[in-house]
Amino acid sequence: MADFNSQVQEPVREEPSAGAESEKKKSLSREILEWVMVVVVALAAAFLIRTFIFEPVRVDGNSMLETLQNNEYMITTKYQYLFNDPQRFDVVICHYPDRGGTNFVKRIVGVPGDTVAVHDGTLYINGESIEEAYIVHKPNYNYPEEVVKAGHYFVLGDNRSNSNDSHAPGVGQLSRGQIIGKVRLVAWPFAAFRVVE
């Protein structure tokens, strides 16, 4: 005869061991470390890309009209200037003397050894007048012939009558290290997307 009064025995609950708690903490620490490493690698990759490969830069001002418009975003590449020198007529991002890391966008018109002059609204390089189809705003100044020094570049804005560039006191010729990257295209706004030449 079954004994209905017999008690049901509760299963014995095992308390988690100190080892299991320690393993759980190690697992959490490992996961946090993995996330930190992912963030560090991503930041390092972004830094390397911006420093050596390409960077988006916003146009600030009207000194490159009509080639570039105020507030457009350009894509500039940097890798080609790691191994090769800038070329005449490249549109570049550059830094000015005593202006820190401020980016300026200009066009190289004189490379080392060139002579550069401006007379009656026309650019002269090595004594020859240059036909510049991209110039809408001709210079309202004359600039006497000047030799571009070794390791330096003469830059002008395409809006020649309204640009603070190598013809202006306080800027002058830029050293090779002040030429940062080459402007490739306008990426924003999308409606204005185009290659820059």
Pick from 117, 139, 136: nearest CA to 126:
117
Q: Catalytic positions, please?
A: 63, 106
User: For every residue of the chain, which 3-state class applies, written as one string?
Assistant: CCCCCCCCCCCCCCCCCHHHHHHHHHHHHHHHHHHHHHHHHHHHHHHHHHHHHEEEEECCCCCCCCCCCCCCEEEEECCHHHHCCCCCCCEEEECCCCCCCCCEEEEEEECCCCEEEEECCEEEECCEEECCCCCCCCCCCCEEEEECCCCEEEEECCCHHHCCCCCCCCCCCEEHHHEEEEEEEEEECHHHCEECC
